[in-house]
Amino acid sequence: MTRGRDGRLDRIETYYDCVPRAVAAVEEVGPFTLFLAEEGTGWQFYARPRLGGLDTFIEADVCRVLERQQQLGVPRAVEWVDEVTPTILPAVRGAGYEPHRYPLLVMPPEVAVEADPRARALRPAEPHLSLALGSVSAAFAGMDDVEPKDPGRRPELMERGDLVVVASFEGNRLCGAGSAAPRGDVAELMGIAVPPGHRGRGHGTAITRSLVAACREQGVDLVFLSAGSDAAADIYRRVGFVDVGTACVLELDD
């Protein structure tokens, strides 16, 4: 652990390096690790600073990895934690780009979190899975019309405990969903979203609480997420999450 840095960030950095490797090829490009999604995964990946690698990044490093992504025909995207590799931000800006910056939050293990009865974990073969994934896509697009989405390799990951998908319901009607990817004793919450017509009734909070509870049942003691905005971060803070850093994402339109 780097002196003076929150040890949870080092665990999160190791986690970020681990998760894509289950469904991706890896290529080292300068001081970056480029993750290349295997066909049929349903995901697209990114480049991240090499785990345990250089502390100093320059503009040429950023340009090199973006050029390699363009050559391969994959999205030009770089992700990192500012507090772990602070020299990437000035290198990205020096290359002429401005990344998105998101609050990175963790749930302290001493905070008790119980599952919300409105939200439950889905089974891998459950028909609701495709609808849950579609509801997340619709929510991020600001739409209420939900189209079922191909789950790709998610059922396989769910079977082995590497993915948890939780959906919230009113009666039999699915109102939103989210997921988590446990790896050992660390898990990230991802894609928590509720379509506009179901917002304002606590479904996002229900999904979040049930995801945390499901992860803890699997032995996870470090649950974290990056919030899409300060307003979203405030919701997670009310559940019990606390700020620990800043997640940076550079995504370029091709």
Say what the pLDDT of residue 6 is. 80
- Contact between 105 and 241 under an 8 Å Cβ cutoff? The reply is yes
Radius of gyration of the chain (CA): 18
* 6 to 11, 46, 66, 184, 220: CA distances (angstroms): 9, 24, 30, 19, 18
Q: What is the per-residue pLDDT for 108?
A: 96
* Structural domains for the chain: 7-102 (3.40.630.30), 119-220 (3.40.630.30)
**pTM for this entry:** 0.92
**Residue 210 pLDDT > 90:** yes
pLDDT for the residue numbered 153: 87
The reported pLDDT for the residue numbered 73 is 94
What tokens were used for 97?
Answer: 């780009």
pLDDT score, position 130: 97
Which tens digits make up the pLDDT trace of 122-150? 999 999 999 999 999 999 999 999 999 99
Position 62 scores a pLDDT of 98
pLDDT recorded at residue 216: 97
- Report the pLDDT averaged over residues 92-120: 97
Taking residue 244's Cβ as centre, other Cβ atoms within 10 Å add up to: 17
Q: What per-residue confidence (pLDDT) applies to 254?
A: 61
CB 111 within 8 A of CB 103: no
Q: Which of 54-58, 193-197, 198-202 has the lowest mean pLDDT?
A: 54-58
Query: What is the per-residue pLDDT for 173?
Result: 95
> What is the reported pLDDT for 39?
81
Mean pLDDT, residues 12-24 taken together: 93
Q: Given a cut of 70, is residue 4 above it in pLDDT?
A: no
Mean confidence (pLDDT) of the chain = 94
pLDDT in tens, 113-127: 999 999 999 999 999
Between 2 and 32, whose confidence is greater? 32
pLDDT at residue 3 greater than cutoff 80? no
